[in-house]
Amino acid sequence: MGSPEKKLMQLCAAPMHGVGTVLAVDAERRCRVVTAQGELSVSPAASCLLAPEAGDVVWLCGDFAQGMYVTAVLERGSTGPAGRVVLPAGAVLESADGTMTLKADHLTLAGEQLAVQGRAAAIAIDKVTGIGREVTWSFGRVKVIADLLESFADRVSQFSRWSQRTVAGMDQVRATQVDYRAEQMMQLHADNLVANAANLVKLDGEQIHMG
C-alpha cells in the first residue's frame, strides 16, 4: 500500500468529533446532519436516549471507518418537541437501592398491553375516572370502605354461595316487578308487617296459618 493510501486509511480511522445540525430523521432513526465538513448520515448512539429531531443541534463523534454517531442532543430545534426518550426493545429501568419515583404534573402510561406486578400496592388519589370496554377482577378478598357508593348499569348479575347484608337504616327497593324465590323456606319477620296491594292480594298454599 502506497503512502497516499496509507495516509487516507489513517485519516478515515482517526477519531472525530464536532457539532452539527439535524436536517431530517428517517424511519430507522438515521439522521442527516450538516457539519462544517459537509452533510453526514449518522445513527444515534446507544447512550443517546433523547431522540434527535429535525432542527436539533447535536454532538457527533466516531470515525469514517466505523461510522459517526450522535452522542448527545445539545439544543432542541425551535419547532421540535420538548423531548422524546427512546429505549431499545426489552429495556429495563432499574434503581440500585430499590426505590424509583416518576413525577410530573401530568403522567400518561400508554401501550397495547399494561402489566403491573408486585406484592403490595398503595394508591392515594383524590379522583379516579375509568373508561373501558371490559374489566375482569380476580381476588381472594375484597373490602370497600366509602361514604357513598353508586353504581349504574343496564343489567347486574351476581352469583354467590352465601350472601349476608346488614343495613343500619332504611333498605329500599323500587322496581317494576319484584320476584323473590326460595327453594326451601322464606321468612319475613318484623315488629310490624304491612302488605298493601291496589288490586289483588293472593295467598296460595297447602296450608295457611294466620295468627
DSSP 27-87: TT--EEEEETTEEEEEEE-TT--B---TT-EEEEEEETTTEEEEEEEEE--TTS-S--B--
Enumerate the domain spans of the chain.
3-75
pLDDT band at 168 (very low <50, low <70, confident <90, very high): very high
Instruction: Give dist(CA 122, CA 136) in Å, integer.
Output: 20
Instruction: Calculate the average pLDDT of the chain.
Output: 86
Q: What is the CA radius of gyration of the chain?
A: 36
Instruction: Give dist(CA 89, CA 102) in Å, integer.
Output: 21
Name the residue with cell 320476584.
Answer: 179
User: Which one, of 53, 51, 52, 55, lies nearest residue 78 by Cα?
Assistant: 55
Q: In the prediction, which pLDDT does 114 show? A: 87
Tell me which H or E stretch contains 4.
helix 3-13
Class of domain 3-75: mainly beta
- Strands 31-35, 57-63: pairing is unpaired
pTM of the prediction?
0.57
